Structures are given as structure tokens and as C-alpha cells.
Homo-oligomer: A and B are copies of this chain.
Amino acid sequence: MKYRKNEAKEYAREILKGVWTALPYNFTEDDRLDEPGIAFNLEHCISRLQIEGHYCSGNVAEFWAMTNEERMRAHEINVETAKGRIPLIAGCHHQNPYEAVALARHAQEVGFDFVIILTPYIAVRCDDALYDYYRFIADRVEIGIVLFNIPQTYYPISEHLTKRLAEIPNICGFKQAGPAPAATISLREAVGDKLVVSVADETPWLYNLSVMGDRWLLNYCPHLYQVPGYLPVRDYTRAALGGDMNRATEIARTVNPLRAMHAKWITGYGRPTGHVPSAEMKYWMELIGMVGGPVRVPCREMTEQAKKQLRADLEATGLPAKAAAGGGKRSG
């Protein structure tokens, strides 16, 4: 570990910033981990997209369809590939707090900077149970923990409860997937001095950065919206931090066709009866020079017709052409 448990909050303030992404995992046709594919995509993000940090094993990574052993191996691949060039967070989400501990301890041992743990999706529907769940894990690991709140789907982490959790030494961040701006404002008021808060959505990032004072974007869009030679999220972030909001705004506007693509193809699961769009993400990635490949049950492959439409829509944004121009396709 790069820091002691009681330094976790301080270390988080130093490390948790900039534009991060969250990659899917890749699988082979015979349903094993595609280790080279996983490594290729991360290398692509680091060296070609200049991503500033990586969150492994998120919802987009189909972690729920991987065994703990596979998840641990995938974490190792991340560490081996990153070689310390960027900080890494390991998603250690599990229905079982004991297994979340096992995953977090492994992440700690192999060299992750932090772990992130989602509100449990079973057995927790009151504040005390949620507090006990996180406390149980935090007490058993040294590594810093980022909370992950998806109030649309799971029991929410209120700002009141977050204040209690923020007293735990190695709880040090909050990934907010609840979309209501007022709830996030309350959260920043309640714990902004203790936890690093990240809104899990690229769309309002420029605003959150320039007006709200956020410093960390933790979201899967940066590798979908950017290709070598076209790094708009990075560029508008830099422009904003550099004090040129006109330029930042102008760049951010160029992303609108990609945001519309994303709204059309990727956000279905956020709807009352939607599906997890892992196949759509992977196909999008294939179209811009990254590794995609098959998905696991209960995610479903796209139909040929849907792929044709997605491809046409994405080509209409010009992104695949930019990717082709920028180079970087995996050989073989």
C-alpha cells in the first residue's frame, strides 16, 4: 500500500482527480477472460487517450457474471498493464460482505490505489444495515474505499448516512450516480471536506468542474467519446482548468452528437425495464479501434440489424473516421 489507513482521505484528495474511465472486460469466444484484450484496451486508454485513472470491474464490466477468481485475475492484469502510470480503483461489489473483503484485500495486495463498493443489492434497506455493511469491510482492510450510490436501483446512501460513513478513516470517496443536482449539492455540503465526490456522468462534468468545484470524473464515456487525435473530454477539462471557458464550452459542444448516441444506445438500463448495454458498448469500441467481443449472460448479443443501425449512427458522428485517421487498431 502506498499509504497508511489513516492517510486514506489525504491520499484520495491527491489522487482522485482528472478524467478517469471504466472499461468493460473482454471475453474470448470460448468464454474465458481475454487477457490480451483487457490489456490492450487499458494501454489504449493510457497511452493513446491520455486517461488519468482507471476504475476496473464496474457495472459496465459485467462483474456480476465473473467469479471472484476471474475478478482478481482481471485486477492483476490492470496493475500489470498500468505499471504505475495511472492510479487504479478496483470495483469490489458483492452481495456478500465477506467476499467484498476478500476482493478488497486482494486489490490492496496487488497494488491498487483504492477500491469502490456499490450499495449492496440484497439484504440492505435501512441506514443501519448499510452502515454496518461498509463498516464491516472498512474495518477489515487498509485500503481506502469509495462509496458508490445508485439510488434509482438500490437502497440510497443519503447525505445524512454519508456523514456517518465519512467518519470511518478509510472511507474517502463517493461516486454519485443519482442524477438530481440538488441531492449532489447536499452531499457536497455534508461531506465535501472529507470525501472526494464524483458525479458519474460526463454530461454535466464541465459544469460540475467549473461552477461546482468538482475535480474528478469517474465514468465510462471517456473511452467511448475519444479516439487518438480527438480527445475532447480531456481538452475541455484542460481548457476549463486553464481558465478558458469559451474554448472549453466550444469543445464540449462538439461532443453533443456522441452524447446523443450514448443516450440512444447505452442508457437503456436506467429505464424502468431496460437491459444492460454491454454488447452495445463493446461493438461501439470495436468501431473505434478497441477490443470488444462477446458478452456474458444475462447480457445479450446485439442482432445484426441493431449492429447495422448502431454502426450507421456512430459513423454519422464521424468518430470511426477520426479513429481510423488517428491509428491504433489492434493488429490481429
| Beta-carbon contact of A260 and B121 below 8 Å | no
- 8 A Cβ contacts from A162-196 to B: 179-183, 185-186, 188-189
Contact status of A132 and B300, CB under 8 A, knowing A263-B186, A275-B125: yes
| Beta-carbon contact of B189 and A133 below 8 Å | no
Stretch of A48-56, A243-251, A283-291, A321-329 on the interface side: A243-251
Residues of the B chain whose Cβ atoms lie less than 8 Å from the Cβ of A94: 95
A250 CB, min distance to chain B CBs, angstroms: 9
Q: Give the oligomeric copy count.
A: 4
User: A185 to B94, alpha carbons, bound, how many Å?
Assistant: 32
| Beta-carbon contact of A276 and B185 below 8 Å | no
Residues of the B chain whose Cβ atoms lie less than 8 Å from the Cβ of A252: 211
User: A188 to B203, alpha carbons, bound, how many Å?
Assistant: 14
| Beta-carbon contact of A185 and B66 below 8 Å | no
Contact status of A183 and B274, CB under 8 A, knowing A132-B297, A249-B210: no
- Chain A interface: which size bin? 35 or more
User: A270 to B201, alpha carbons, bound, how many Å?
Assistant: 20
The listed residue (B96, B212, B296) touching A65 by CB distance below 8 A is B96
A332 at the interface (CB under 8 A from B): no
A241 at the interface (CB under 8 A from B): no
| Beta-carbon contact of B298 and A120 below 8 Å | yes
A3 at the interface (CB under 8 A from B): no
| Beta-carbon contact of A203 and B181 below 8 Å | yes
User: A67 to B67, alpha carbons, bound, how many Å?
Assistant: 12
A330 at the interface (CB under 8 A from B): no
| Beta-carbon contact of A65 and B275 below 8 Å | no
| Beta-carbon contact of A97 and B245 below 8 Å | no
**28 A-B Cβ contacts within 8 A?**
A62-B123, A65-B98, A66-B96, A66-B98, A67-B98, A97-B297, A121-B121, A124-B298, A125-B269, A126-B275, A128-B275, A128-B300, A129-B276, A129-B299, A129-B300, A179-B179, A181-B201, A182-B259, A182-B263, A185-B259, A185-B262, A188-B260, A189-B263, A206-B211, A211-B252, A211-B256, A213-B256, A245-B249
